[in-house]
Chains A and B, each alone.
Chain A
Amino acid sequence: MEDLGIKILGAILTTIMAFAVGMTYGGITRKLTARVQNRRGPTIWQNFIDLLKLQSKKSNIAHGFMGHMAPAWIIIAAITTLMFIPVLNGNLWFPNLTFHGDLIFLLYIMVFGSLGMALGAGQTGNPNSAIGVSRGLSQMVGFEIPFVLALVGLMVQYQTTSIKDLMEVQQQTGIWIMFSNPFSFLAAILASLGMFRYSPFDIVGAPAELASGPVSEFGGKYLGTMMSGGSIFAFIKLTLFVDLFMGGAGNGSDTGIWATLLGIVILLVKTFSLYMIPVFYGWVSPRYRTEQSIQYFYRWPLALGIISVIWAVVL
């Protein structure tokens, strides 16, 4: 019973941490983008202020049951995915409900949120939402393939489908997978450019082209919930990448408060450095059309993925 209580408390703490970190990263990105463009930019906490304002709107418009539930699907998918990724390995508070054999499960549960939001956006009746959804789903076919190839390369090389085992392998051998299977890392990073929906793959939510696509009819508390869901998702993807390729954070079975804090700091440093890759690339890229973005993923990222599988089989 006490074990269950600690697990639930850990789950709540993880969710809060994911939310806070995701929103702060968004704010830091806005500040950095502003500096790159030679202006000052908002404060780092601007995303929180936006969220507070949206939640304090006095009237909210919904378009029906699916439209009402659309932000809820994203939060459900985000929290469920978070529960199954080990945030700090072996820690008492943050290991979550991770179990073995869960890389395939993660690939599918990440789609759950987008599909739910797509259904909600569909019910609003705005044709812009439908166009945005069709573009988003088509892009997803693009970036998922190199990502799966990279993951298959990892699974074959280490004969496991569990994230926890991959983290342990990295801690035992002391070499990050980033260096022992670099093609897999490259393919996954290029796929992640599509996942984070920064330039050049941001045609889904383009404000001026498409009236912001699927979120065009959501305002007030719905928009606020969607923003927080999006931030949690960003954190999830970053943590997944760090666990797979950069050795995760947290070491063994330390449960002291200083060890936990140290683990969190290391995790933040690693995820932030990984987050800067799509952000940097976005600063200098114009936007791709949908078919261009799909074909982009079927050139170099696909080739790198195939090479990573061959590398894993040969070695």
Chain B
Amino acid sequence: MSTNEKNSKTILEYISEWSRKHSLFVMAYGTGCGAIEIPSTMTSRYDAERFGIRGAATPRQADVLLITGYLATKTLKRVIRVYEQMQNPKYVIAFGSCTINGGMYYDSYNTINSLDRYIPVDVYINGCMPRPEAVISGFVKLQEEIAAGRCHKGEKYIENLEWYRANQKKIIKNWRMPDYNW
């Protein structure tokens, strides 16, 4: 590969990564109790739109999926379906301690303890619940991760699908989902 080719490839990729960084469509899906902090982040006081962050109505249009807090197994099945309907490249931001180690519900029969086993996560924001300033700093961290080229977890999900599926099927009892449709 000559120097010229390497440069041009990088320029195109640079523009793509830059545009992905500055335009994030967030899936309008409040999965848990942390979703209460999202309206304040999006509206006038803490204004997430100045970073290019917008709400998107359907997973087909969205880039970022926010897992806002605890995940019941019932919600986990829908979250997996929504995640798989999104288009590459896609990012997941996990809010709160429930996604890291189970948080307040660590010994519940109905919630999951560690989100990373079921779908790949890019950025964790800790807190219970994280304030809007913390949410915005999480988005800024996501932007840095995108710029550094470390956010290709959508493709990693496809590569390690058997492992993820095994984990998902262990915890979701009535598995009735179509195959992944990428």
Contacts and interface: CB of A to CB of B under 8 A. Distances in A.
Direct contact of A and B (CB under 8 A): yes
Interface of A: 30, 34, 37-42, 46, 49-50, 52-53, 56-61, 207-208, 211-212, 215-220, 223
B49 A42 contact: yes
Interface residues of B, number: 30
Given A49-B22, A52-B16, A39 B58 contact: no
Contacts of B54: 50
B182 interface: yes
Interface string B13-45: 001100110110000100000000000000111
Given A49-B19, A56-B20, A57-B87, A216 B58 contact: yes
B87 A34 contact: no
B47 A40 contact: yes
A217 B20 contact: no
Contacts of B56: 207
B61 A212 contact: yes
B57 interface: yes
Given A52-B16, A208-B57, A212-B57, A46 B88 contact: no
Contacts of A53: 16, 19-20, 22-23, 63
B60 A216 contact: yes
Contacts, number: 89
B52 A57 contact: no
A83 B89 CA distance: 37
Interface of B: 15-16, 19-20, 22-23, 28, 43-45, 47, 49-52, 54-58, 60-63, 85, 87-89, 181-182
With most chain A CB atoms within 10 A of its CB, the pick from B23, B49, B60, B62 is: B60
B104 to A, nearest CB: 29
Given A50-B23, A56-B16, A39 B57 contact: no
Contacts of A38: 44
A59 B57 contact: no
A38 B28 CA distance: 23
Contacts of B87: 57-61, 219-220
